């Protein structure tokens, strides 16, 4: 049997960074490459019906070895890595028996993983960490989840004395660009409920996430010679600044936590003639989410009143909703995951996801899907790392969930 970290180190060799500008599905060829490798591996360990479709979705099944009527359980992770930073030529570093001091990721570039900046490192003294070399992300989000699911399946197959019902496995493309559930075939998958392995710190268990929308703002200006511009010029960049000022100044990511929502400016380009801005809008509560969207409309209306109708246009697109309302009717799936972690010696921490996962959309597609930790930290950048012992506990948690339902 392969160890979970051995699988992980193999998978990160493949560049699966998704691309939000691509119109193909999946958005990058590397995801198809990894998907085909995973299908081959799933068949080799004894899974049945393992396949990859033309859009890069991987599905596999493990038939029940008991006749009792137990739920069909799914486990899902995504294959792509974030477009925020390079996922090519990843050079993982293994830090054994971590001593709690600063880890030099790249001596030549003076890049360090410092516990003063990342105090959670102190929680992993004595553990084995896999880090980057400071020039790429690592890919623990979510190749750690992929590794954990396949490792759990291989263990289950090699230990037929462990009783289980039907198990379903799915690996999705393009989660990092918000398209992971676009073409997921819930009916084909065939599970009664599922778990995404897409969380971070050991013990994380999540069934609430942000309501999410994207906002695109276009501001039209009027350019004339600056020497004779009085009462004539409309500088679209300055109007953009006014737009930002009309939004609540403290409702931004760097000033919010826990159940607080935010408006996040993620991009801005401009000239005097035209400025474009992109925001993401996030809130856990539907009423506050609607208020945030209304703030954008009010800002548009106020600036159009001042500068003329059509100066500012706002396009808001909803992205996903809070899965809580879909999971609460089957809250036993959360309670079971909590018990499974406790059986593994892990303290479960139920907390909201300050983001989204495939599970958020899948829950509204009829597949309730809370989220479980993978053991990674600092996703999407050069300071990303994963703890091998935490990955092993994620594998154990998967197996415990399966055992609990088989024993009912």
Q: How far apart are CA 398 and CA 173, in angstroms?
A: 22
- Catalytic residue (choose from 5, 15, 80, 166): 80
| Element spanning 236, H or E | helix 236-246
Q: In terms of Cα–Cα distance, which of 26, 2, 23, 3 is closest to 14?
A: 26
For the chain, report the end-to-end CA distance as a whole number of angstroms. 29
328 is catalytic: no
Q: Is 359 exposed, middle or buried (0-12, 13-18, 19+ CB in 10 A)?
A: buried
The DSSP code for 91 is: -
80 is catalytic: yes
The token duo for 176 is: 């990092």
Residues sharing a CB contact under 8 Å with residue 407, sequence separation 6 or more, in sequence order = 163
Compute the half-sphere exposure of residue 79: CA atoms within 13 Å on the CB side of its CA.
33
- Catalytic residue (choose from 5, 141, 175, 377): 175
Can you list the alpha helix ranges (DSSP code H) found in 256-285? none
- CA distances 3 to 9, 52, 377, Å, are 10, 24, 20
Q: How far apart are CA 398 and CA 340, in angstroms?
A: 8
| Positions marked catalytic | 80, 175
């Amino acid at each position: 049997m392969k160890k979970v970290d051995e699988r992980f180190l193999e998978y990160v060799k493949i560049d699966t960074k998704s691309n939000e500008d691509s119109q193909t599905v999946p958005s990058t060829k590397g995801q198809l490459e990894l998907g085909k490798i995973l299908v081959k591996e799933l068949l080799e360990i004894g899974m049945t019906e393992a396949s990859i479709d033309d859009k890069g979705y991987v599905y596999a099944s493990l038939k029940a070895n008991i006749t009792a009527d137990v739920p069909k359980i799914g486990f899902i992770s995504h294959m792509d890595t974030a477009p925020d930073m390079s996922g090519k030529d990843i050079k993982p570093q293994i830090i054994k028996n971590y001593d709690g001091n600063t880890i030099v990721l790249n001596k030549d570039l003076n890049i360090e993983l410092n516990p003063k900046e990342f105090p959670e490192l102190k929680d992993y003294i004595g553990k084995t960490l896999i880090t980057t070399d400071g020039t790429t992300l690592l890919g623990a989000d979510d190749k750690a989840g992929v590794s954990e699911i396949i490792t759990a399946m291989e263990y289950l197959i090699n230990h037929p004395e462990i009783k289980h019902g039907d198990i379903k496995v799915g690996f999705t493309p393009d989660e990092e660009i918000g398209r992971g559930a676009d073409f997921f075939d819930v009916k084909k998958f065939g599970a009664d409920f599922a778990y995404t392995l897409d969380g971070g710190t050991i013990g994380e268990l999540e069934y609430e996430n942000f309501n999410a929308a994207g906002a695109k703002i276009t501001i039209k200006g009027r350019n004339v010679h600056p020497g004779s511009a009085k009462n004539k010029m409309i500088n679209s960049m300055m109007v953009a600044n006014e737009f930002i000022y009309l939004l609540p100044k403290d409702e931004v990511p760097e000033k919010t936590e826990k159940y607080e929502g935010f408006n996040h400016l993620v991009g801005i380009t401009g000239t005097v003639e035209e400025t474009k801005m992109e925001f993401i809008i996030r809130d856990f509560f539907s009423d506050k989410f609607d208020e945030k969207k209304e703030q954008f409309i009010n800002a548009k209306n106020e600036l159009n009143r001042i500068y003329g109708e059509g100066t500012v246009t706002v396009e808001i697109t909803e992205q996903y909703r809070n899965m809580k309302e879909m999971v609460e009717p089957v809250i036993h799936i959360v309670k079971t995951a909590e018990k499974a972690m406790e059986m593994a010696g892990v303290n479960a921490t139920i907390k909201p996801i300050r983001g989204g996962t495939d599970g958020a959309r899948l829950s509204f597609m009829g597949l309730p899907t809370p989220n479980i930790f993978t053991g990674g930290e600092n996703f999407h950048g050069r300071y990303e790392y994963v703890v091998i012992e935490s990955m092993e506990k994620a594998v154990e948690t998967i197996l415990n969930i399966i055992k609990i339902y088989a024993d009912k």
